[in-house]
Amino acid sequence: MTGMRIALIAALSMGLGLNAVALEVGKPSPAFTVQRLTGPAVPLSQYQGKVVVLAFIDTECPHCQHLTGVLNTIAKEYAGKPVQFVECAFNDGAVQLLPGFIQKFQPAATMGYSPRDPVMTYLAHSILKPLYVPHLVFLDRKGIVRGDFPGESDFMTNPEKNVRTELDELLKPAASTSAHPASKGKTAAVKSTASAAPSHP
């Protein structure tokens, strides 16, 4: 009986995604579509041929608002290069809050939203763990996941420097091949107060 219970729990956990903890860095990006307030929805596959910086944000999170400013500056520096910045809000009320967010912070990125569940599925994030934002994902020009950095990772303590470093690496001629080392966000034992803003449950 005990063995049957363990097997059942394991099966339920797999079905609910409780064992999933992160994107598979070095593997093709799962399909994901960013909804737009105006215009057609944008699938990530549309950006193959470009390095993609994908930020999952909460419009009311101060750290996400700060990251938007950081990405605005970096986008100007990398203008003319094959780089696409995308921000996807997934907090409660994102559709209603996005117009004010866009007006105030003027994101240079393609700006959109998604319900929470598709974001959790895309990030392969366990529903038993809090998801801290902003959460950054980097895709190379072939659509391979090359970096996955949750809000509590060391990477997010200095996005100004680290985003540029990641982009420079991915823009090298051979960066879209397996020669580029996969970057994985390391979760600190104690969540950083500088970047660990939780999204709405």
CATH number, position 51: 3.40.30.10
Determine the angle formed by the axes of helices 94-105 and 62-77, rounding to 10 degrees: 50
Determine the structural domain holding residue 163 and report its residue range: 21-198
* Continuous segment of H or E residues that includes residue 34: strand 33-34
Among candidates 156, 143, 142, which has minimal Cα distance to 196? 156
Q: Looking at the predicted structure, is the pLDDT value of residue 1 above 60? A: no
What total number of domains does the chain contain?
1
Residue 48 located in a structural domain: yes
Instruction: State the pLDDT at residue 163.
Output: 98
Residue 15 located in a structural domain: no
Residue 2 located in a structural domain: no
Instruction: State the pLDDT at residue 11.
Output: 41
pLDDT tens, 10-21?
344 444 444 445
Q: Is 109 helix (H, G, I), strand (E, B) or coil?
A: coil
Residue 6 located in a structural domain: no
Residue 71 located in a structural domain: yes
Q: Which two tokens stand for residue 147?
A: 């970096």
Beta strands in 49-163 (DSSP E): 51-57, 83-89, 110-113, 132-133, 135-139, 145-149
What distance in Å separates the CA atoms of residue 82 and residue 53, rounded to the nearest whole number?
11
Q: Looking at the predicted structure, is the pLDDT value of residue 111 above 80? A: yes
Residue 102 located in a structural domain: yes
Q: Give the 3-state secondary structure percentages of the chain, helix then strand then coil, rounded to 5.
A: 35, 20, 45
pLDDT tens, 114-157?
999 999 999 999 888 899 999 999 999 999 999 999 999 999 99
Residue 58 located in a structural domain: yes
Q: Is residue 97 very low, low, confident or very high in pLDDT (cuts 50, 70, 90)?
A: very high
Residue 97 located in a structural domain: yes
pLDDT tens, 32-80?
999 999 999 999 999 999 999 999 999 999 999 999 999 999 999 999 9
